[in-house]
Structures are given as C-alpha cells and as structure tokens.
C-alpha cells in the first residue's frame, strides 16, 4: 500500500503487545507511508517514552490521544474488562478530530493482532464506508433480535473516513446508545453492529482470523463448521488459514497467547514477536478451570465442538459465564 493510517486503542497493560503488533505491521504489511494513531489510557511517562522511542527508531509518524480528554463515560456504555478503551474506537471521529482532514482510509486494529502478509488487498475495499469480518460463531446471538443479516467482529475495521463523516455514522452510533434497550454483552461490538445495522461491508476472513477459527484441524473443522448454527463453512475457513493476512490473538475462554497454555493456536507466533519486544515478557498465570483446560487441548476442543450443537439458550448461559470469568 502506498499510504495507510492505523489506529490502536490500549491501556497500559498492552504496551508490549501493541509494539509486537506494530512490528509485524512494519515487517509484513508492505506499507510505504505509515502513520500510527494510538488512543491511550492510564499511561505513565515511561509507557509513552517506550512507544515513542520504538516508533522513532523506524522513522514512523505517530500521534497519541489520551482517552481522559474525551469523556466517553458520559455515554454510560458498559466497560469491557473494567476499561472504556475498547469503546473508544466508536468515537474515532471526535478523538482524531482535525487529523481526519488528511486521512482518507483508516485501519483500526486491536492490539492483539499480528499482520502476517501484505495489506495491499485492502485497496479493493477503500470505497466502502466500513469493512469488517463476520463473526462466524455467534449468529444465533443476533438472530433472536431479528434485526441483523450479519454480525461483525470489531477487532479489525477498515474505514473510509470521508464517507463515515458525510453519512453521520458517529451520530448514528450515539443515537443508538441513547435509545438502546438491548443488553450489551459485547459493548463496542454490539453498538457498532446494531447502531449501523446492515451498513457494514464484509472483509474476507483472512483479514481477521481469530484464534478459534484456527484451532481445529480437518476433522474438527468439518464437525464445527458443518454445524448449521455456525455461519462459516469449512471451505471458507480453510481458504483463510491458507492465506492469513491479519491474525487476531483472541482468547478462547480467555485463554490467549499472553497466558501460559498449550491450547491457543497463536502461542508460538506471538511469542516470537513478543520476545523481540521484551525478552522477559510476563505471561499471565491462569487459575481454576481455565488453567485446567489450557493444558488439555484435545479435551477442550471436543467440549467446544459439543457445546456448539447445544440449544442456543444453553450456549447463551455458557457465553455469559465466559464473559463473567474474563472480567475477573
């Protein structure tokens, strides 16, 4: 790509993870002119210095935006893991403000993403107002509401900022927040999907290949994606795994590549990048059932496939329990 503006939003717990993501972007993204925008929360001077020094060593133009200056709390959006940082992506227009004058397309990335191939293909989606990858596993979560054709993961968003502003998308999101009567299980993601309803365009799965999509092998893929309650197909996932572009180190029951486990399929590649950023990176110690499952990949995969065939109301209880656990 000739030019790209990339936005991240993190608190101070994700500094090393962010730098690993940026390093992968620099090495694999094939971007000639890169600018980085970072929405920050609870940063110390050392945090700012560490990121600044890293980016300056690559001669990258960058900007920080302290979340405190934008009073996101006034919208009364539920936090995610006790943080309002994930909700900041919804208000990038107000946060970046005058910087948007020189931005045509903006790529938002969660910090726990790695770019593993060229981003040149994004040029094919530049005219769409907002592009994202469909969630394949939770279509029933939205089906009960009867308002969405698809439900999208908010971890990777490719946005035409001119269209976004001209069509008043931020105002649409704010209106939804103010009028919403739906319980927000995944706050920023729910708001994005329900607030913009069916105005989001689909990116191929290889632009946001989450961990669960890469967890199974051939038989597991067949059993899991052969389930009629799952949106994706075995062929779709197989093609994405053959040519990944952005991988997303999401936690599987909050078992992510930054914790001690033998389950998450992205452990090895994240370890490579994290060790290059911080040779003594501190991996999270899991507890209880998470710790048990984290070292029993075959058992976990079997249980995960089995639960996907259960009635939706049972899956909903499992999901709520998972969310409760991840907030601890």
Parse the chain into domains and list their residue ranges. Answer: 3-326
| Low-confidence winner among 108-112, 184-188, 224-228 (lowest mean pLDDT) | 224-228
User: Is the pLDDT score of 311 beyond 80?
Assistant: no
User: Is the pLDDT score of 231 beyond 90?
Assistant: no
Mean pLDDT of the region 130-145: 76
User: Is the pLDDT score of 188 beyond 90?
Assistant: yes
State the pLDDT confidence band at 99, using cuts at 50, 70 and 90: very high
CATH of domain 3-326: 3.90.550.10
Annotate 15-80 with DSSP letters as a single string: HHHHHHHHHHHHHHS--SEEEEEEEEES--HHHHHHHHHHHHHTT-EEEEEEGGGG-GGGG-PPPB
User: Is the pLDDT score of 286 beyond 60?
Assistant: yes
Are the C-beta atoms of residues 22 and 36 closer than 8 Å to each other? yes
Please, what is the Cα angle at 196 between 115 and 194, to 5 degrees? 95
Rounded to whole angstroms, the Cα distance separating 281 from 290 reads 21
Rounded to whole angstroms, the Cα distance separating 154 from 108 reads 9
**Strands 201-202 vs 105-109: parallel, antiparallel or unpaired:** unpaired
Q: Is the pTM of this model over 0.75?
A: yes
User: Is the pLDDT score of 323 beyond 60?
Assistant: no
The token duo for 303 is: 């249980």
Q: Give the pLDDT score at 328.
A: 45
Q: Give the pLDDT score at 294.
A: 95
Mean pLDDT of the region 237-254: 92
Q: Give the pLDDT score at 234.
A: 74
């Amino acid at each position: 790509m000739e030019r790209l503006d990339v936005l991240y939003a993190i608190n101070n717990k994700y500094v090393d993870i962010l730098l690993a993501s940026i390093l992968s972007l620099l090495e694999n993204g094939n971007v000639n002119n890169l600018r980085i925008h970072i929405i920050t929360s609870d940063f110390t001077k050392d945090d700012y210095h560490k990121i600044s020094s890293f980016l300056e060593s690559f001669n990258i133009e960058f900007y920080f935006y302290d979340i405190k200056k934008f009073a996101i709390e006034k919208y009364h959006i539920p936090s995610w893991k006790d943080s309002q940082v994930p909700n900041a992506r919804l208000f990038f227009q107000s946060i970046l403000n005058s910087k948007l004058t020189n931005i045509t397309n903006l790529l938002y990335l969660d910090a726990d993403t790695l770019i593993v191939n060229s981003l040149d293909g994004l040029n094919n989606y530049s005219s769409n107002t907002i592009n994202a990858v469909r969630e394949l596993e939770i279509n029933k979560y939205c089906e009960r509401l009867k308002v969405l054709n698809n439900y999208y993961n908010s971890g990777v968003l490719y946005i035409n900022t001119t269209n976004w502003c001209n069509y008043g998308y931020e105002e649409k999101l704010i209106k939804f927040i103010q009028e919403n009567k739906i319980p927000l299980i995944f706050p920023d993601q729910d708001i994005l999907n329900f607030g913009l309803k069916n105005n989001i365009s689909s990116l191929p799965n290889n632009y946001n290949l989450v961990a669960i999509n890469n967890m199974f092998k051939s038989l597991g893929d067949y059993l899991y994606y052969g389930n009629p309650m799952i949106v994706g197909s075995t062929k779709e996932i197989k093609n994405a795994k053959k040519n990944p572009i952005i991988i997303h180190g999401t936690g599987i029951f909050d078992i992510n590549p930054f914790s001690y486990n033998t389950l998450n399929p992205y452990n090895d590649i994240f370890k490579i990048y994290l060790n290059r950023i911080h040779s003594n990176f501190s991996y999270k110690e899991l507890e209880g059932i998470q710790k048990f499952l984290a070292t029993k990949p075959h058992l976990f995969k079997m249980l995960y496939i089995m639960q996907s065939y259960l009635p939706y109301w049972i899956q909903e209880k499992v999901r709520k329990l998972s969310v409760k656990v991840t907030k601890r």
